[in-house]
Structure 1
Amino acid sequence: MFWPDTISKKLGIRYPLIQAPMFGVSTVEMAVAAAKADCLGSLALADLSADQSVELIREMKTLTDKPFAANIFVHHIPEVTDALKEKYSKTKQFIEQLAKENGIEVYLPDLETININGYHEQVDAIIEENCKIVSFTFGNLDDQSIRKLKEKGVTLIGTCTSVKEALLLENSGIDIICVQGIEAGGHRGSFEAEHIPQIGGLSLLSQIYDQVNVPLIYAGGIYEARTLKAVKDLGAQGFQVGNLLLASQESALLPFEKERLKKVTEDEIVLTKSFSGRYARGVRNQFIETIENSEYILPYPYQNKLTNALRKAAKSLQNPEFVGIWVGQSIHQYSELSTEDILKKLIEACER
């Protein structure tokens, strides 16, 4: 049998393929389509409020009775100090002026009006809604949350980008670890926002396999049968794909963004903190080039909240120079088929 069955049995799915959460790109429809392919759909709840999380969970449940993972962010929220207030004000002013000079009229939010949500209320909402799989990124859950979720029989999937992070997850009782290589698109799942581990996926997976005893999912660079088989040989028992689904029917990317993806070259794919304050891998553009090595980057999530309105305005103008188009290092055809069909084709290719 080609597919390892440890993770699929644990999660109640046929194939140990996981649709990456990709907040801002994935949709409820994408997660449902992944479930239709007998894979695990991921519902990206990110740092939404508890009420917003409940709304999406209930929508998902009306569309499928198959298992899915509720995915949340567990990042540290920096304290609002006078220094942060001053830097926020300067950054807001600079980015508004930059946008105006490039034909984008946008007013970014004041610091006092931004809602920053922690994950503890989401955990309570997830338990109330009887979700049985929770995945998370940007750190580890606190001990109390782990205990509460495990008491309700929830399977926990944590994300790591180093051996050290993997060991921390295992030692705190996390059931499955998702190993994310540096080649993965979008935001790094690192526990640290600043000094992130920059370890290639194959090296990282092999090292973690030797040092932990829980089942491993691998994420980063899987886009066809050969890449999936390679990480299977290195010990992965589950396989997370995101880059493969970016242009799918269910993707939230707009047509102009999908077209930009199809023209991307390897030298245009960069790691940047410019849009969010955390390292993310995406397509280099004017905004990134202007902001990346400047003083106008706030800590996550403040930079992310600040630039959100700019990205929305740029999207409405179909301006690729001021949106974050996240993409991994494995460049391919970016199929516009449904997520279900893309995953089924991958399954067939692996089984051949």
Structure 2
Amino acid sequence: MTHLDLDTPIVLGPFGGMSSVELTAAVSNAGGLGSYGLYGYGAERIAETAAQLRAATDRPFALNVWIPIGDEARPGQVDTTQAAEAALPLYDELGIAAPSGQPERFLVDIDEHLEAILEARPAVLSCVYGMPGPDVVDAAHARGIRVVGGATTVAEARAVEAAGADAVVASGFEAAGHRISFLGEAERSLVGTFALVPQVVDAVDVPVIAAGGIADRRGVAAAFALGAAGVQVGTAFLRTRQSAASAAHREALGRIAADDTVLTRAATGRLARGVANRLIETIESGGAIAPFPAQSWVVGALRAEANRLGRGDLQSLWAGQGAPLARLDEAAEVFAELAAGIPR
């Protein structure tokens, strides 16, 4: 994908909150675009991460940011009592205290976040939940940074292009993790990859990167047949030893069937696809889920402790519907398998 200066048009899914320098560098070093999700990172940590990536690779990499869409709850504006009560039995089970009160803020300052990314000068600034304002896009382009935005509908793809994106990631509902819809409700923006990609290709003039359900050479070949200029792959790489996924998470990816994943708001308050487990079942049966990002704060300490203890039943096990096709444990092997599907 020459538009992004890549040898091989394979992009690593950004894994907001679950990225690793090792995996990002491995994909970039192989000739693709390694992506690192910066969700929750402050300016100092962004600078440190960029330095670590540059020490691990001299190839292009992307830094990923979540763009606010205006529905984010702020401390003091939302009552989290009922949501906390739903999670309390799980906190008690793990023997840790549930959070009390509310923090000063749930999210990092987006202006500080974006400025730090611009200062880090990655090859690509990738965005989900929309695009930053024209001043940020112009500043990125002035620094030689390409800007890529995600879309779950044709309307979103057009909006991303109009905002100055150099490429659009068309994300089908099969994909793991958060549904990155920003123009309409996520539940009403569930378009499959096979339907979405060709429609987006027809609607925009910039390159389209297909995402969702792609885990081997067959998915890559299909994406290119639909008109995509590249593919973005998450779950297949998430299973590898180079990822930041826990052992329990990787084990789950190795045993689940396509219909073992669900769309839920239980983990963060926003719709996301992951493996059905006790965390999701308990929170959903409690009848109260706080809006994003308050829900993430409500269950954040619980998920972290479950991760520490190796309790996969209480972690957020993000997974796409293509997980049963993710059979390889080494990033280099996954990359080679995907590259075999690119038309020559």
* Coarse TM-score class (shorter-chain normalised): over 0.9
Identical-pair percentage = 30
Task: Confirm or deny that 1:277 pairs with 2:259.
Answer: no
1:266 aligned residue: 258
**Which amino acid counterpart does residue 98 of structure 2 have in structure 1?**
Y
Q: 1: distance between equivalents of 2:184 and 2:228?
A: 26
2:91 aligned residue: 99
Which residue, out of 196, 201, 225, partners 1:233? 225
Q: 2: distance between equivalents of 1:323 and 1:210?
A: 39
Task: Confirm or deny that 1:9 pairs with 2:2.
Answer: yes
2:25 aligned residue: 32
Q: 1: distance between equivalents of 2:98 and 2:73?
A: 24
**1:46 is paired with a residue of what secondary structure?**
coil
Q: 1: distance between equivalents of 2:53 and 2:94?
A: 38
Task: Confirm or deny that 1:325 pairs with 2:317.
Answer: yes
Q: 1: distance between equivalents of 2:130 and 2:180?
A: 7
1:81 positional shift: 7.0
Contact 2:34 2:61 in 1 (8 A): yes
Q: Residues 102-159 of structure 1, C-alpha deviation per residue, up to 9 Å, x if partnerless?
A: 3442432531344411322122112222223100101221222222222222210000
Q: Residues 271-323 of structure 1, C-alpha deviation per residue, up to 9 Å, x if partnerless?
A: 01100111111111112112236442111122123322111111222222211
1:169 aligned residue: 160
Instruction: Pick closer, same or farther for the CA change 1:104–1:324 going to 2, 3 Å.
Output: farther
1:180 positional shift: 0.1
Instruction: Pick closer, same or farther for the CA change 1:163–1:118 going to 2, 3 Å.
Output: farther
> What is the count of residue pairs matched by the alignment?
342
1:193 positional shift: 7.8
Structure 1: where are the runs of 5+ without partners? 1-7
**2:125 is paired with a residue of what secondary structure?**
strand
Task: Confirm or deny that 1:142 pairs with 2:108.
Answer: no
Task: Confirm or deny that 1:341 pairs with 2:328.
Answer: no
**Which amino acid counterpart does residue 74 of structure 2 have in structure 1?**
V
Instruction: Pick closer, same or farther for the CA change 1:11–1:350 going to 2, 3 Å.
Output: closer
Contact 1:74 1:118 in 2 (8 A): no
Contact 1:24 1:252 in 2 (8 A): no
Contact 2:267 2:316 in 1 (8 A): yes
**2:35 is paired with a residue of what secondary structure?**
strand
**1:190 is paired with a residue of what secondary structure?**
coil
1:92 positional shift: 2.3
**Which amino acid counterpart does residue 142 of structure 2 have in structure 1?**
E
Q: 1: distance between equivalents of 2:100 and 2:219?
A: 42
Structure 2: where are the runs of 5+ without partners? none
Instruction: Pick closer, same or farther for the CA change 1:183–1:333 going to 2, 3 Å.
Output: closer
Q: 1: distance between equivalents of 2:99 and 2:184?
A: 23
Contact 1:33 1:338 in 2 (8 A): no
1:34 positional shift: 0.3
1:203 aligned residue: 195
Which residue, out of 208, 217, 220, partners 2:212? 220
1:3 aligned residue: none
1:336 positional shift: 4.9
Task: Report which stretch shifted further, 10-19 or 299-308.
Answer: 299-308
Q: 1: distance between equivalents of 2:335 and 2:47?
A: 27
| Normalised TM-score (structure 1) | 0.90
Q: 2: distance between equivalents of 1:192 and 1:275?
A: 22
Q: 2: distance between equivalents of 1:53 and 1:82?
A: 28
Q: Residues 34-80 of structure 1, C-alpha deviation per residue, up to 9 Å, x if partnerless?
A: 01211110021123112111111111111111100111111235353
Which residue, out of 56, 72, 85, partners 1:63? 56
Contact 1:27 1:252 in 2 (8 A): yes
**Which amino acid counterpart does residue 62 of structure 2 have in structure 1?**
A
Contact 2:62 2:124 in 1 (8 A): yes
Instruction: Pick closer, same or farther for the CA change 1:193–1:305 going to 2, 3 Å.
Output: farther
Cα RMSD (Å): 2.1
**Which amino acid counterpart does residue 169 of structure 1 have in structure 2?**
V
Instruction: Pick closer, same or farther for the CA change 1:262–1:109 going to 2, 3 Å.
Output: farther
Instruction: Pick closer, same or farther for the CA change 1:220–1:142 going to 2, 3 Å.
Output: same
Instruction: Pick closer, same or farther for the CA change 1:103–1:63 going to 2, 3 Å.
Output: closer
Which residue, out of 174, 178, 185, partners 1:187? 178
Task: Report which stretch shifted further, 332-341 or 118-127.
Answer: 332-341
Task: Confirm or deny that 1:80 pairs with 2:71.
Answer: no
